[in-house]
Amino acid sequence: MSLVDRYRLPITALDASTLREAFLDFLEDAYNGVLDREALTRIESAQVDYTAMGVEAAMRVGERAAGEASLASAVESQNVLDLAFSLYGYVPPGDVSARFTVQFTADTEPTVVFPQGLKLSTGSGTSLQEFELEEEVVKPSGTATVTGVARAGTTKTLVRESDGSAGQIYELEGLSVDTTSVVVTVQGEEWTQVTSFGSSRPFDKHFRIRALEFVPGDRRYQVLFGDGVLGLIPQAGEVIELTFVTGAGRRGNVGLETITRVAEPVYDAFSNRVFVEVSNTASLTRGRDHEHVDIPRLKAPLRRNLRFHIVSKQDYESAALLVGGGAIRAAAYNFEDLGGGWNPNSVLVLVAVDFVDPATDSEAEAIRDAILDTYNQNGTARLVVGSADFEEFDLDINVRLHRGYKVSEVQPVLQALLDEFFGPDSTVGPVPEFVVDIGRPIVLSHLVEALGEVEGVDKVALPTLEAGGFDEIVPAFNKLPIITTNLTVLPADG
């Protein structure tokens, strides 16, 4: 339980004399950003009278509680994470595992299978780092060398048994958890991760991830289940499996040819143990550490505890996404910016409620009313909420590889980069189709540059860029771009 929750306890006179000194010591530590967990435990066992502490100490408690209740002013790491989580379902990303191409050489005639999850590590003379093969790789008979895709860190699976209670919580044990890798199954069936149980029905098989950081830098994560009203409860006795990658982050960014050990035995088709040489064909650079606790303040949409403070265009966009009504994209404009003759304080917010049909007039009006009601903005600005329209773009992308690189190995890396370039959660449907923010331009030269940096890529060509002579896809200000990518990856010439 965070400080803000503890301070909300009713306070009465109960053994105040014996706790006063410990409580004031704890307040001093808390005020300076240092948590004394032992003192907190002692104080938690009894309720303290404000008056027994004197006016100065009581004011300090109130000031501290008020500061920790706001995302903008909280200083305790766990309070920042709790507020970001409870207010808008934000969980800071965990460590990201570097992915890379690894080369195996086995000087033996028969077929050799390198199984998925095969453990690799750095060689002697370096700091030990662990890696694993993402998918099975087969060296055919008669060949000596084969390549595959590996990642930093190791996969861990925790098996738990549900007790049938509402709101079950399970910790993902270990540091440096890659939260993008978390898979949760109940009785063998995979459940869906959501950022909030707010839209979950009693039968929805949903779970959430929550970040913990009681000690700065010591980031851990929990998996939370529903309470039977918002989200299904795993039934008593059901087996829960939590699978995730741990031990990743920037520590996995090692240099060229430093991964030289296969940490497990490898066998050929006749069950004979095989000597294998292994190396990474490029330096690892894409591993990232977990997001710093201060970042949620920067990424936060408009917070409910900061009502009456809708000021910027971004505030209006965040409000439209928060108040309900199904808005999934929003863009705010000042009528003066658009050349309109209205009051310069007038604001136009365009919304899209899904990726199939534009918002109706009634849906837009409901979102407008919800913003005015929730944030008490009546009289401060003229607010109009309208529907954004769609604008479709086809983008052909042709990639030629260097010699020695296979299409089957490089194409998934390129597709993952497209996902990252166009933005998180922007892909819809089975086709590589991306929905971008309303009115957002796409700079094609930036896309070409990013694709060209992928290992194995020789040339990148965008016919749209070369034939049209323009570098940006610029939709109208009220258009929601839907970009269909047609990615063609070709092997080296000759």
Which tens digits make up the pLDDT trace of 240-263?
Answer: 999 998 877 778 888 888 899 999
83 has pLDDT over 80? no
Q: Span 127-133, mean pLDDT?
A: 85
Per the model's pLDDT, the better-predicted residue between 156 and 63 turns out to be: 156
| Span of 87-96, 141-150, 393-402, 409-418 with lowest mean pLDDT | 87-96
- Rounded mean pLDDT, 195-208: 85
Residue 327 has pLDDT above 90, yes or no: no
What does pLDDT average to over the chain? 76
Q: Give me the pLDDT at residue 384, please.
A: 83
Q: Residue 80 is which amino acid?
A: V
Q: Average pLDDT, stretch 30-51?
A: 47
- Sequence-separated (6 or more) residues with CB below 8 Å from residue 107: 144, 275
User: For residues 81 and 211, is the Cβ–Cβ distance under 8 A?
Assistant: yes
Kindly report, residue by residue over 165-181, the tens digit of the pLDDT. Answer: 999 999 998 778 888 88
Q: Identify whether the C-beta of residue 161 lies closer than 8 Å to the C-beta of residue 234.
A: no
What is the H or E stretch that residue 160 is in?
Answer: strand 154-161
Task: State the pLDDT confidence band at 276, using cuts at 50, 70 and 90.
Answer: very high
Q: What is the pLDDT of residues 151-160, one digit of tens each?
A: 888 899 999 9
Q: Is the pLDDT of residue 385 over 90?
A: no
CA distance 236 to 230: 18
Burial letters for 437-475: b for 16+ Cβ neighbours within 10 Å, e otherwise? bbbbebebeebbeebeebebbeebebebbeeeeeeebeb
pLDDT value for 465: 62
Does the pTM surpass 0.95? The reply is no
Per-residue pLDDT band at 196 (split at 50, 70, 90): confident
Give residue 2's pLDDT: 39
Residue 229 is predicted with a pLDDT of 86
Residue 313, number of CB atoms within 10 A of its CB: 17
- Which residues neighbour 339 within 8 Å (Cβ) at sequence distance 6 or greater? none
Residue 266 predicted with pLDDT over 80: yes
The pLDDT of residue 334 is above 60: yes
Per-residue model confidence (pLDDT) at position 298: 58
| Residues above pLDDT 90, as percent of the chain | 23
Can you tell me the mean pLDDT for 43-58? 48
DSSP codes joined into one string, 100-156: EEEEEE---SS-EEE-TT-EEEE-TTS---EEEESS-EEE-TT--EEEEEEEESEEE
